[in-house]
Amino acid sequence: MFKSLLIANRGEIAVRVMRTAREMGIRTIAVYSDADANALHVREADEAVHIGPAAAKESYLVIDKIIAAAKASGAEAIHPGYGFLSENVAFADACEKAGIIFVGPPASAIKAMGLKDAAKALMEKASVPVVPGYHGDIQDARFLEGEAQKIGYPVLIKAVAGGGGKGMRRVDDPARFEAELKSAQREAGSAFGDERVLVEKYVSRPRHIEIQVFADAHGNAVYLHERDCSLQRRHQKVIEEAPAPDMPEDMRRAMGEAAVAAAKAIGYRGAGTIEFIADASRGLRADAFWFMEMNTRLQVEHPVTEAITGTDLVEWQLLVAAGEPLPLTQKEIPLEGHAVEVRLYAEDPANNFFPSTGRLTRLRAASSDHIRTDMGVEEGDEVSMHYDPMIGKIIAHAPTRSLALAQLRSFVLDMEVVGPKTNLSFLAAVLGHPSFEKADIDTGFIDKHLAELVPAFYLSPEVVGAAFIGHVLLRAKRSRAAQAQTSDPWSPWAATDEWVLGGHRTEVLKFIVNGEALSLPVTPKGKDAEFVFNGVTHSASGSLSDDGDIAVLVDGKRVTAAMVSEAHGFTIVHRGANYTFTVPDPLDVDVVSDGDTGALKAPMPGKVVQVLAEAGAAVKRGTPLVVMEAMKMEQTLAAPADLVIASVNVAAGDQVEAGAALVVFEQKADQ
């Protein structure tokens, strides 16, 4: 076994690999960019090597820099993690030439399965069913549009290289094909350095089911059962589970054996995943699944497989890379219980899951014997605009699926995450949705139920009561601190009693809550208080701990929440949802408000990749105006209403900050 390991990645997977390596007595070396100088994976490593600027293409994706870091640190092996260079043939070759062990398959296997079109052709030769489509080399837009017509809409445009939903577009309307093709090609080129795509049939009720395979250098290969990854947004997985709900045993065996045969056919070694699409319109059947692609690396969702099989797949990777045989035979691999994983992202589900950035001012969760958390950050760390917005993963394992879902949902609801917007409450909504609980799922589940999973903004009296009590107690605490500093302790301006100027006991507190204005008349009643919300009077009392935890009685109902103080207000965290209360400053008035002209603003820092707007044009609500790229994803920004464009302030290639006015409007088009 080698004694030192460089992890050519960052975030959650780098921390995950280090954990197993440390248990095996292997020294770990991290690499980091300018943006990651203080990142968790750097703090966790035994040694860390700087490899360049924040942009991945200048650091994590530069093969020469990774090899140089390995040589400088004396690393005997390199683990690529997932993403970045994990499925890069040139990187695997470079490791071999440098005399460094690559913890992954041979370069020949990566090449055979790394390009979706070539992989599908290989599977067809091996008599593995593949989804109907065009997998050839011709990339002319008119030709591909013709192939789409032959296949029949809806179709999927997919990047030939890479994965993770990058460079993938579903097209239902032939009129949108060319625009979606160009967008997919741009995104694929940015993410993988390869703009080529394929076009294939979109299955009506698809279930995304994948098989975990493992092979060694001694001719042994096994499958470690399946994972269901059907819960997706933007063609990226959000929730994964193992085994697949309602999977017939004959289908499990057929898919597993096909996956192992595919691995053996290309001389595979290490961890890999064969991804299939299954038609769930008549239930899962052994004759209704098709090969999609092979990921020649460890998957993000590998923890659910580890849970049901009692294995450590990173340990298996390291053993196989060192020349050891597989630890278990096929007959020895168990399948125990059910595991479910959710991915915690810094993103805004209410804004088409657009990525979010910022410092994690609060990141806390209860300890649990039933829950595993794989995090790439800690409280106080920054979620950067330069990389994938995943904060971490949360995994539950229980004897049954229903128990795993219940335990996971309870844990998620108790989590406290403040800073960037997250999908925490969305995850809780999915886990508790009746259709998901019944396993009535396919890859369109989130789109179908989006209105239920991302409901309109709603404030409850309990949350308002917690905010009101928290605000008053925090104000009193600050007042006491100010009183301790004043030279006149008897000054009425330092008092913390119920006295108010003019003798009135009722006060109107004004807040902006998640963008909505709230006026709250409150009246002290001894140790308690009353507040009026939506025309109804409520009573409230409570306490605020030094740590920011609030215990409140609202109309006799006990409410617990976390309160995180911020520069101009505070955030209340209650059952997985965040409510940001801003205290307006009457002296802080914009000279010109957005309402005077109206503007389409950048939702976060990023790069403008395409401008579709023209000054003077009248546009309808929903008309695409600007395409931005941020955190490895493209986002199309559309007109918010029927408007006339006054000016366009950006051009393709511009880097913009959050809140920058990209397009300015004059007036409504019908005026």
Instruction: Name the catalytic one among 27, 297, 343, 409.
Output: 297
**Those residues with Cβ within 8 angstroms of residue 526's Cβ, 6 or more apart along the chain or in another chain:** none
Tokens of 258: 């096909």
Q: Is the dihedral of CA 32, 37, 43, 46 positive or negative?
A: positive
Q: What type of residue sits at position 602?
A: A
Sheet strands side by side (includes 221-233): 289-295, 270-279, 206-215, 221-233, 236-242, 338-345, 390-398, 371-375
- Is residue 558 packed enough to be buried (19+ CB in 10 Å), middle (13-18) or exposed (0-12)? exposed
Which stretches of 205-316 are assigned E, i.e. beta strand?
Answer: 206-215, 221-233, 236-242, 270-279, 289-295
Question: SS3 sequence, 399-427?
Answer: CCHHHHHHHHHHHHHHCEEECCCCCHHHH
Rounded to whole angstroms, the Cα distance separating 77 from 17 reads: 13
- Give me the torsion for CA of 118, 123, 127, 132, rounded to 10°: -70
DSSP state of 640: S
Q: Is the Cβ–Cβ distance between 95 and 81 less than 8 Å?
A: no
Give 551-580 as a DSSP string: EEEETTEEEEEEEEEETTEEEEEETTEEEE
Total Cβ atoms within 10 A of residue 563: 25
CB 130 within 8 Å of CB 124? yes
Which tokens sit at 119? 């992989």
**Strand ordering across the sheet containing 4-7:** 47-52, 27-33, 4-7, 77-79, 101-102
Among 408, 531, 399, smallest CA distance to 459 is for: 531
Would you call 398 helix, strand, or coil by DSSP? Answer: strand
What's the start-to-end Cα distance of the chain, in Å?
75
What are residue 562's phi and psi, to 5 degrees? -110, 145
The total of other beta-carbon atoms located within 10 Å of residue 296's CB is: 28
CB-based contacts of 403, cutoff 8 Å, min separation 6? 338
Q: Can you tell me the distance from the alpha carbon of 15 to that of 7, in angstroms, rounded to the nearest whole number?
A: 9
CA pair distance 56, 84, nearest whole angstrom: 8
Which of 571, 545, 225, 265 minimizes the C-alpha distance to 424? 571
Phi, psi of 155 (to 5 degrees): -125, 165
Residues 211/255, Cβ–Cβ less than 8 Å: yes
Task: Check if the beta carbon of residue 348 is closer than 8 Å to that of residue 368.
Answer: no
| CA–CA distances in Å: residue 464 to residues 210, 324, 508, 534 | 45, 60, 14, 11
Give the other-Cβ count within 10 Å of 586's Cβ: 6
Q: In the annotation, is 170 catalytic?
A: no
Catalytic positions, written as ranges: 297
